[in-house]
Amino acid sequence: MRKEDVYEFITTISENSYFNFYLTDLDLINIELLKEEFAFDYRRYYDSAIDLTKIIHFRGLVATLLYRISRQLYLLNMEDSAKKFSTFSFYFTAMELYYTAEIGVGIKFNHGVSTVIGARSKVGNNCLIHHNVTLGEKNGRPVIGSNVTIYPGALIVGPIEVSDNCIIGGNSFLDKSLPENTIYK
């Protein structure tokens, strides 16, 4: 994956849209870091080298790539550009991965529609998140450990910690911390 490939992909998916991307802002991101992080995400879907023509088939991959770009822009104090990429991602994928959230590598979103990873939420590595999941505000933000699976419709709120290797059942409401290896229904 080269910077030119990312430019072409962004241009292609934003063609005929209301969003005016400043592709020159992409010159400032660390393409090697983007490739490294996104490679872990990509391998959760495909067992091959990154091919940007394939990611269009999985909205979770598109949202993850645009999140990683917007996150880097945010960390470079380019919040307006980060907002543009983040907002475009929401409109294009129906998923909101807020650029101030910290999302580990190897994330996989099954279906993804209506998923919200709210501002300042944290998600560890190798997590599987299904559609219509919300990580959000209730006097603080949740911290999700690594290797966590969250099934459809789960609502996880507040300053809680879901430790590693937990499973959160579908349509559950969670506002308390969980120790490692917990199955929460």
Task: Using pLDDT thresholds of 50, 70 and 90, give the confidence band for residue 94.
Answer: very high
Decide: 135 and 116 in contact? Cβ < 8 Å: yes
* Buried/exposed code over 14-37 (b: 16+ C-beta within 10 A; e: otherwise): beeeeeebeeebbeebebeebbeb
Decide: 97 and 119 in contact? Cβ < 8 Å: no
Task: Using pLDDT thresholds of 50, 70 and 90, give the confidence band for residue 113.
Answer: very high
Degrees to nearest 5, angle at CA 106 with 172 and 50: 135
9 pLDDT higher than 70: yes
Task: Using pLDDT thresholds of 50, 70 and 90, give the confidence band for residue 159.
Answer: very high
Decide: 112 and 63 in contact? Cβ < 8 Å: yes
Decide: 85 and 21 in contact? Cβ < 8 Å: yes
Where would I find the H helices in 58-107? 59-75, 79-93
Q: Which pLDDT score is estimated for 135?
A: 98
Residue 146 to residue 77: CA distance in whole angstroms:
27
How much of the chain, in percent, has pLDDT values that exceed 70? 96
How much of the chain, in percent, has pLDDT values that exceed 90? 78
Decide: 155 and 138 in contact? Cβ < 8 Å: no
146 pLDDT higher than 80: yes
Residues 6+ apart with CB under 8 A from 141: 118, 119, 120, 121, 122, 135, 158, 159
Is this structure's pTM higher than 0.95? no
Degrees to nearest 5, angle at CA 31 with 87 and 14: 35
Which domains are assigned to the chain? Answer: 3-93 (no CATH), 101-185 (2.160.10.10)
Residue-wise pLDDT for 33-78, tens only, equals: 999 999 999 999 999 989 888 888 899 999 999 999 999 999 999 9
Pull the structure tokens for residue 123. 């998600």
Averaged pLDDT score across all residues of the chain = 93
Pull the structure tokens for residue 100. 């101030």
